């Protein structure tokens, strides 16, 4: 967390993450070029590099899209999430190099503006091979540029978390466009099944992981709740909450994180104000709820970040009765103190 926008020094984790990212991309490019030259000795350098950078960007985008659901399924994947934006910017740069090579190779010699040529040189012919595929890639690249340009927390704070999150959900639109770009482009000229099989495997992997993660989340939201006469919800038992951690429950359609700490229990909204991270999957560190995604912190009694930070989440009133935790489904305004329930000894 930072109280103001300033250059953040690379720590050991960031260096390791970026080293693995850059090293992995470089290794892929070298291996791809070596294998392609071995299989197709007559391939031109332009085509070789075009394919290398294009497939690298697409592969990295698949990895990026898989990180989210993997983190929902198991916390051991969380380290991949901390600096996922670095991977997103890298994906855009790889796609940009691919696009520059395409424009330079196929459109630079046209009488028209090269960018205009992308949209007018291909005509519909009534067959799959005749579907213009380059506009799909061009629009996808524009979306990836928008996401890369707004990846910094400056834009998150100024756009607000809901708007920023909605904007970055466009990555799925970009992915769909790239699937069309490859399907109607590169796959139409391939006689082998390698690219076709790889594309199908990537698509199935992304869709399957998202479906599995979504079903797991739905099971949590559909858990039966007991209502008291005054409308309070029986969330869980005290014993079901690990010390310094939380139990996530769905209360009146909203996920609530019920934390146990220092002989007390407090409840806050499960949604972190940074990037909508799941607070209930984090833990209490030095008296603060710590988001597992990027480390943003909140006081469990008030839902407010410790000074000088200003982020706040709604709190919920709770009470204990016969070992069960009851939650008032009506949230308090963000940053409002809610008296913790004391666990009987």
Quote the number of domains for the chain: 2
Instruction: Choose one of 220, 242, 273: the last residue of a domain.
Output: 220
Q: Give domain status of residue 85, yes or no.
A: yes
Q: How far apart are CA 110 and CA 260, in angstroms?
A: 67
Give yes or no: residues 57 and 167 share one domain: yes
Residues 290 and 166 reside in one and the same domain: no
114 and 198 in a single domain? The answer is yes
My answer on whether 100 and 238 are in the same domain is no
pTM over 0.85: no
Whether residues 232 and 215 fall in one domain: no
- Domain that includes residue 304, residue range: 226-342
Q: What is the pLDDT of residues 148-158, one digit of tens each?
A: 999 887 887 77
Residue 7 lies in a domain: no
Q: Is residue 238 part of a domain?
A: yes
- Both 145 and 268 in one domain: the answer is no
User: Do both 22 and 99 map to the same domain?
Assistant: yes
Q: Among residues 180, 198, 220, which one ends one of the domains?
A: 220
Instruction: Please indicate, yes or no, if residue 104 is contained in any of the structural domains.
Output: yes
- Whether residue 5 is contained in a domain is answered as no
pLDDT of residue 211: 94
We report the CATH number of the domain holding residue 168 as: 1.20.120
Domain limit, last residue, from 220, 253, 268 = 220
- HEC letters along the chain: CCCCCCCCCCCHHHHHHHHHHHHHHHHHHHHHHHHHHHHCCCCCHHHHHHHHHHHHHHHHHHHHHHHHHHHHHCHHHHHHHHCHHHHHHHHHHHHHHHHHHHHHHHHCCCCCCHHHHHHHCCCCCCCHHHCCCHHHHHHHHHHHHHHHHCCCHHHHHHHCHHHHHHHHCCHHHHHHHHHHHHHHCHHHHCCCCHHHHHHHHHHHHHHHHHHHHHHHHHHHHCCCCEECCCCCEEEEEHHHCCECCEEEEEECCEEEEEEEECCEEEEEECECCCCCCEHHHCEEECCEEECCCCCCEECCCCCECCCCCCCECCEECEEEECCEEEECCCCCCCCCCCCCEECCC
1 assigned to some structural domain: no
| Residues lower than pLDDT 70 in the chain | 1-11, 110, 121-130, 191-192, 220-230
276: domain CATH number is 2.102.10.10
Pairing of strands 246-251, 233-237: unpaired
> Are 216 and 237 within one domain?
no
Q: Please report the pLDDT score of residue 141 as a whole number.
A: 96
Do 231 and 136 lie in a common domain? no
pLDDT of residue 128: 57
- Identify whether residues 45 and 147 lie together within a single domain: yes
Residues 79 and 186 in one domain: yes
278 shares a domain with 172: no
6 domain residue, yes or no: no
Question: Is 248 a domain residue?
Answer: yes
pLDDT at 5: 41
């Amino acid at each position: 967390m930072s109280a103001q926008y300033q250059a953040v020094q690379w720590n050991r984790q960031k260096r390791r993450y970026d080293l693995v990212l850059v090293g992995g991309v470089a290794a892929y490019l070298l291996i791809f070029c070596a294998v392609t030259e071995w299989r197709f000795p007559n391939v031109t350098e332009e085509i070789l590099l075009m394919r290398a950078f294009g497939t690298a960007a697409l592969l990295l985008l698949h990895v990026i899209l898989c990180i989210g659901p993997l983190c929902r399924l198991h916390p051991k994947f969380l380290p991949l999430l901390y600096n996922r934006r670095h991977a997103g910017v890298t994906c855009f740069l790889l796609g940009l190099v691919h696009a520059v090579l395409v424009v330079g190779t196929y459109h630079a010699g046209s009488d028209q503006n090269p960018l205009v040529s992308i949209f007018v040189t291909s005509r519909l012919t009534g067959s799959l091979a005749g579907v213009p595929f380059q506009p799909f890639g061009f629009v996808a690249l524009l979306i990836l540029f928008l996401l890369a340009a707004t990846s910094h927390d400056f834009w998150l704070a100024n756009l607000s978390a809901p708007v920023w999150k909605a904007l970055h959900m466009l990555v799925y639109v970009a992915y769909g466009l790239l699937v069309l770009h490859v399907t109607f482009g590169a796959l139409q000229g391939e006689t082998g099944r390698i690219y076709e099989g790889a594309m199908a495997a990537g698509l199935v992997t992304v869709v399957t992981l998202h479906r599995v993660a979504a079903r797991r989340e739905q099971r949590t939201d559909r858990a039966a709740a007991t209502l008291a006469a005054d409308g309070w919800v029986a969330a869980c038992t005290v014993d079901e909450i690990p010390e310094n951690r939380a139990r996530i429950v769905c209360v009146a359609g909203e996920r609530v994180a019920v934390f146990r700490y220092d002989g007390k229990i407090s409840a806050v909204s499960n949604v972190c104000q940074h990037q909508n991270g799941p607070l209930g999957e984090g833990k209490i560190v030095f008296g603060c709820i710590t988001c597992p995604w990027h480390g943003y912190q909140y006081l469990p009694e008030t839902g407010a970040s410790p000074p000088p930070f200003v982020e706040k989440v709604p709190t919920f009133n709770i009470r204990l009765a016969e070992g069960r935790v009851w939650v008032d489904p009506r949230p308090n305004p963000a940053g409002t103190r809610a008296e913790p329930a004391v666990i009987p000894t």
